[in-house]
A and B are shown apart, each in its own frame.
Chain A
Amino acid sequence: MFKYILKRLGIAVVTIWLIATLTFFLMNMVPGGPFLSEKAVSPAALAALEAKYGLDKPLLEQYVTYIGDALHGDFGDSLKQRGRTVTSIIASKFPVSARIGGLAVLAAFCVGVPLGCISAMNRGKLGDSIIIVLATCGIAVPSFVICTVLMYTFGVRLGWLPTLGLNSWKHYIMPVTALAFYPTAYITRLMRSSMLDVLGQDYMRTAKAKGVSQFASLFKHALRNAILPVVTYLGPLLAYTVTGSFIVEKIFTIPGLGGEFIGSITNRDYTVIMGTTIFLATLMILMNVLVDIVYKLVDPRIKLK
């Protein structure tokens, strides 16, 4: 397994390099630049700015410099948020997003898996139908609607929850709920279908014939097999969720990383675009490796090569 992880990490490095290269050239092909404003900056000031950040050099040279610096862990200064380095932006904003995202994934997992099981076991009955309807809604309703409904209901009408910032545990409830909505629904559906699949297997019938209690057969035999697709989904989900959601952060005024992804692109803040992209890519790949390892633990039949 150790060899396998090494191999995967090797591939990961190449993947990240490819992503970085593609992003670098694509973003430079898009018209516009970081020093634009409605009011024209004087040519002298523009030239000085470009010289300061090395944007006056040929693109290939910029690329080589960037990759070289990045290899040394230097992701450069933000071109828009003057005085901040890309590393410091990610270091200050990622923890916030990760806390909310991590809690959301945890909630989605803890709620989605049992709901999926209940639904599968009650297939065709009322409970199943209710869960399916709810899950479909959870997938179909966009997060800004959920945010707005939550905010209006609990923030404005009932006045139970604060709507601004992250100062206490109460502040976490709405953003975490909003963020957990979609993955909960998805996990429920995933769990339901894979559970139904497993419940139809011969070994389940054998277990039942042996007189194993329903509870034991479900948890000991069915769940471990049925949970595999959920685990697969959990990796990328976690990577996406902990890097923040633009919409949820914007609506609840949360200083997370999600806004930086969108903001850096609209601002053409090249170094931040690169930094956040590489960060997300790295996280995504690591999560996938982690998922593979968890796979092996859940299902010893799986061989990692």
Chain B
Amino acid sequence: MRKRVISMLLAAVMTVSMVSGMAVTAAAEETEGKQLSVQIGPDPETIDPALNSAVDGGNMLLHAFECLLTIDQNGQIAPGQAETWEQSEDGLTWTFHLRDGLKWSDGSDLTANDFVYSWKRVCDPMVAAPYAETVLGMVEGFDEAIGGNLDALQVSAPDDKTLVVKLSAPCTYFESLAAFATLSPVQQATVEANGDAWAIAPETYISNGPFYVTEWVPGSHIIMSKNPYYWNADAIKLGSIKFNLIEDSNAAYTAYQNGEVLMIKDVPTEEIPSLEGSDEFFVDPIIGTYYISYNTQIEPFNDPLVRKALNLAIDREYVANTIMQGTYSPATNFMGPGWVDTDGSSFMDNANGGEPYMSATADIEGALAALEEAGYPNGEGLPVLHYSTNDAGYHKPVAEYLQSAWAEIGVTLEIEIVEWSSFTPMRRNGEYEIARNGWVGDYADPSNMLDLLYSTNGNNDGKFNNPDYDAAMDIARSTIDPEERSAALHQAEDIMMNEYACIPLAYYNDFWMQSPKIEGAWHSAYGYWHFMYADIAD
């Protein structure tokens, strides 16, 4: 009896674990060639080009797909699936000429019609692509297409190797969009046969880039193997890349130390001080700025002088280098490094006559003077201000810093920590006084970020409304003269910086660890790691 009881109990315990099936995760498929094991983020929510809006997914798409154009190692536009391209004189018609013999990863032919299908799919309301308007909003017929009449979109393929796009307004940065992952081609037959699920199984995830997905265990890893049908396959040295979907930065760091992965994106912040100076630790800028929004529609933030005072009281050098441990760089402009001016040069270098708009260190006297001019000498008469942020990364330490920095000019700040999912809609609806904000660019044209302060922009969380600013942005939108456009964009930044529309705090950087064994990989200002042409030294 005693044995029976124990065995019954054990049986009860074990049934559950048995019922669940003992199918252990299939061992990695044997692939030829070297496998590079890296960590560039947790499980992507989606790797469907049309649906992705996150950098994690973007890194995957970059390796699995190739757009008409690509961005090269120097941040310049380069040929991709299209070998040559041209725009009409009025800037409204773009023609792309595809390479010879393009193929999908399943070996079938890829034609210009695949692009036509894919671009129309991005507009499909049933697909509901988050970036549809960003990447195709300027194409003629977009408004009808987004309403469901997909064929209204003026994208056509006169022959298998030519793609013609008609725009409703000039878009001088259309090349950047033609290199944007949302506009990657997807295979019509596969997508139509499988619906949204085409992008979750390696068998149906047909792509056209340097690699193709051969295994995806959600929450564990994605393996991509070299795509032998890729036009430039001869230049690919790796046999496969294993993207380890590690969520915990300490786990990633351990795996790196053990040599299980050769590159990790998520470095534990507490390790950073000991890593500085190491030749395996890298810091590189990405296009984006950590900034603070004022709700410019309410008192006292409708007064540019108050905004100025709060702006000047901040020591950005201290924030970026001490609080953020050098993983950010102090922001003296709104538009930081990496943004490309209309002539291909650095937008930041050309801004404000080449001078920074603000000092990287605090100007307490200037701040006090501005406060006095606004009618609040030494902060007297100002109500208690409220700063809203979610708690992640450096957000809370930054909030605490602001509290102490603004106390120096007599401003009392209360911090409100809000859960991220509640924080985002709250900020968007303007239910705050001062709030953490940030933007990482989708493409390197400065309009991508300057649009944030356009009065009707959906991301204008501060509800900044300045007719001169809007006018400058309107010119930037409509002109096809590069110089006029550049001048308008710089004028817009001048206006928002002089008005202290928000508080640019720090420029984003990516920081990561990478083994010297990895050769031929590079990191771009878009926050992407390019491993397609990498190799592993023996």
Contact = CB atoms under 8 A, between A and B. Distances in A.
Main secondary structure of the interface of A (DSSP, over half): helix
Interface size classification for chain A: 35 or more
A36 B218 contact: no
Contacts of A51: 125
Interface stretch (A5-13, A58-66, A148-156): A148-156
Contact of B218 (A30, A45, A151, A255): A255
Interface string A114-130: 00000000000000000
Contacts of B257: 156
B214 interface: no
Interface string B202-244: 0000000000000001111100000000000000000000001
B244 A37 contact: no
A44 B130 CA distance: 9
A163 B264 CA distance: 15
Contact of A32 (B20, B200, B247, B421): B421
Contact of A82 (B10, B133, B196): B196
Contacts of B420: 266
A276 to B, nearest CB: 14
Interface stretch (B46-54, B106-114, B340-348): B46-54
Interface string B17-36: 11111111101100000000
A278 to B, nearest CB: 17
Given A95-B21, A105-B13, A165 B248 contact: no
Interface in A3-61: 30-33, 35-45, 48-49, 51-52
B247 A253 contact: yes
Interface stretch (A190-198, A203-211, A290-298): A290-298
Contacts of B459: 39-40
Contacts of B134: 42
B250 interface: yes
B128 A49 contact: yes
B405 interface: no
Contact of B20 (A81, A82, A102): A102
B318 interface: no
Contacts, number: 204
B186 interface: no
Given A36-B425, A82-B196, A102-B13, A166 B25 contact: yes
Given A45-B129, A151-B254, 16 more contacts: A32-B424, A37-B130, A39-B439, A44-B132, A45-B133, A51-B125, A80-B45, A81-B200, A106-B14, A148-B250, A163-B255, A164-B246, A166-B24, A242-B16, A242-B20, A255-B25
B53 A39 contact: yes
B218 A92 contact: yes
Interface string A266-305: 1110000000000000000000001000100110000000
Given A52-B126, A255-B220, A95 B16 contact: no
A164 B251 contact: yes
B24 A45 contact: no
B197 interface: yes
A267 B45 CA distance: 11
